Amino acid sequence: MSMINQLKDVKTKDFAKHCYESSSVDKLREASEGSADQSEMEHWGLTEGQWEEAIVAALADHEAKE
Kindly state the percentage of the chain with pLDDT values over 90.
95
Would you state the pLDDT for residue 1?
64
Q: Alpha carbon 19 to chain centroid distance? A: 5
Would you state the pLDDT for residue 66?
73
Does pTM surpass 0.85?
A: yes
pLDDT mean for each 10 residues of the chain (66 residues): 93 98 96 96 98 97 89
Distances (CA, A) of 43 to 9, 47, 63, 64: 16, 11, 26, 28
Would you state the pLDDT for residue 53?
97
